Amino acid sequence: MPNDPAPDSVPDTAPVPGGGPCGRPGVASWCRRVRGLLTPDRWAHVVRVTELAERIARANRFTDDEVHDTVLAAVLHDAARDLPDERLRELAPPTNAQERAHPMILHGRAGRALAESWGVHAPRVLGAIEGHVAGVEPEDRIGTAVYVADVSEPGRGVNDDVRELALRDLPAAYRTAVRRKVEFLRACGKPVHPTTLEVHDSLVPDRS
């Protein structure tokens, strides 16, 4: 998008090694900035999520603007994931006991705050960054594409069926991914984040 702020002073013509979406002008500088905050393994995950999110977006006939915002949100979604707990709490003050006990849950909201501080203002990009942890409204195409790509990228070794489904029917893949997460947490006896529960309970039943 022509109005995207330049994230840093590095010329945007220099590609990030590895090609893919990060090899493109307009994306490369964001990739460099995020890569500087993450471990190599985490960065490799971000690249896979970004590639898959773009495939999902194109397969579901997103507009060019939607594809652009999906790619940007995917690049940024885990920007705060490797920050120390204290920094997470600074960027995203906890709002409930679960968030206080497990600061890692804050990394979506903290990533949103980081992106805002870098000059990203598009609500649907910021919403997808925040919502990749606890979920987004089912009608949010960009948010659901990033959420599903995050939980089903091939490096996870799980949710291959969700990935395949997302390339045909993103809303159905999102419903499956959210239900699976809630079932998994309940089976482990772990608390479900209130937002996740809200999203889960709002999903219409699948007819199949």
Binding interface with Fe ion (CB under 5 A): 78, 150
Provide, rounded to whole angstroms, the least separation between the CB of residue 78 and Fe ion.
Answer: 4
Using CA atoms, how far residue 112 sits from 50, 153, 160, 196, in Å, is: 17, 21, 28, 18
Distance of closest approach, residue 77 Cβ to Fe ion, in angstroms: 6
Nearer to Fe ion, 4 or 153 (CB): 153
Minimum CB distance to Fe ion, residue 158 (Å): 13
- Pick 69 or 78: Cβ nearer Fe ion: 78
Rounded to whole angstroms, the Cα distance separating 157 from 65 reads 30
DSSP state of 4: P
Q: Would you say 54 or 78 has its CB closer to Fe ion?
A: 78
Q: Which is nearer to Fe ion, 53 or 122 (CB)?
A: 53
**CB closer to Fe ion, 149 vs 182:** 149
Query: Smallest gap, in angstroms, from Cβ of residue 18 to Fe ion?
Result: 17
Which pair of tokens denotes residue 179? 């239900």
* SS3 assignment, position 196: helix
Please give the C-alpha separations between residue 90 and each of 34, 82, 114, in angstroms, as whole numbers.
19, 14, 11
Rounded Cα distance between 140 and 155, Å, is 25
Q: Shortest Cβ distance from residue 111 to Fe ion (Å)?
A: 10
129 and 194 Cβ atoms separated by less than 8 Å? no
Other beta carbons less than 10 A from residue 170's beta carbon:
22
d(CA 109, CA 100): 14
The amino acid at 48: R
Q: How far is the CB of 149 from Fe ion (least distance, A)?
A: 8
Please identify, using beta-carbon distances, which residue of 69 and 150 lies nearer to Fe ion.
Answer: 150
